[in-house]
Amino acid sequence: MSTEQDRVDVRGVVSFVVIAYLPAWLLTLPLWLTGEGLSWAWAPVVLLVMMFMPAVAALVVSKWISPSANPLRSIGLTNPGGIKKWWPHILVAWLGPPLAMVLALLVGYLLGIYKADWTGFSGLAEQFGTGVIGAEPQTSPGMLALIQIAQVFGLGWLQVIPALGEELGWRGYLVQALLPLGQPGAFLTTGVLWGLWHGPVLILGFNYPTVPIVVAFMMMMCFCILVGTLLGWLRLATGSVWPAAIAHGFLNAAAGLTIVFSQAGYAIDNASVGLLGWTGWIVLALLILVLLLLGKLPVRFQVEQSGITRGVNRRSRR
């Protein structure tokens, strides 16, 4: 099956971008109007609903604007062969993001950027140190760390559904729609648009609160291009959006690991620490390089070519 097209469906892509952006950006208006920004009590709900706008855009475009014979299949919610085709990638999508985060923290530690306490978990204990001064902690730092790590690998599954809201749009629809640009072009363009989509919350200090706004935009786009390439690989290699959604969910869940292994007394700056930070980009770039060296990128699609007579197909891979 080939997912390549002859040309970009400009109407569909432009419509998708407008529908994905406008409602999501309008949802953030209360954060501005209340004057409380991300500290507003309903901010988490706003951010959660915002994540579903790319999915709405993908469904609207695939159903009505650039209709597909099978909208759910065209955006990867269903796929030929079902879960049997992509289940081996579940482990990669599940375990890969937390392990990549640990590698990113290790790189930051080796470069002197991340102050870590790998076994004492003093930063985590400091974070939870809300009891009476001088009193013995009710839970040891080691147990706190174990609980947090278990939550990343277990409760991280709860993050998959909101992550699916984004992935149905960015990887499910947009990467596919931009394939005529070539896979590098599709990943690059999708990453830029995905990064800019975060604009209103970036201005409010989400993700990169310690850097100037222009730098925050540039950093978010770099991050989205790198991690979007890996998520795009999962999407194209499996023909399904679910592995990308699982990986996205655990990518969000793994963010808490920066605190788990931190050293007390040192602030964590997302601009330099973890996968969001430039030290983490080294890990993401290396993972992309590994896929290239293994011949996994660009993804090769199986295509069907018409034979000499009707009903005769010849299969090849490209």
Q: Kindly report the average pLDDT of the chain as a whole number.
A: 92
For 227-249, the pLDDT digits (tens) are 999 999 999 999 999 999 999 99
Give residue 136's pLDDT.
55
3-state helix, strand, coil in the chain (%, to 5): 65, 5, 30
What confidence category does residue 155 fall into, taking pLDDT thresholds of 50, 70 and 90? Answer: confident
Specify the DSSP class assigned to residue 262. B
Give residue 316's pLDDT.
43
- pLDDT over threshold 70, residue 91: yes
Tokens linked to 258: 């920066």
Distance CA 20, CA 43 (A): 19
Q: Poorest-confidence range of 16-20, 122-126, 169-173? A: 122-126
For range 185-203, the mean pLDDT: 98
Say if residues 202 and 247 touch (Cβ distance below 8 Å): no
For range 47-64, the mean pLDDT: 98
For 27-54, the pLDDT digits (tens) are 999 999 999 999 999 999 999 999 999 9
- pLDDT over threshold 50, residue 123: yes
- pLDDT over threshold 70, residue 153: yes
Say if residues 65 and 11 touch (Cβ distance below 8 Å): yes
Closest Cα partner for 86 from 194, 247, 224? 247
What confidence category does residue 318 fall into, taking pLDDT thresholds of 50, 70 and 90? Answer: very low
pTM of the model: 0.92
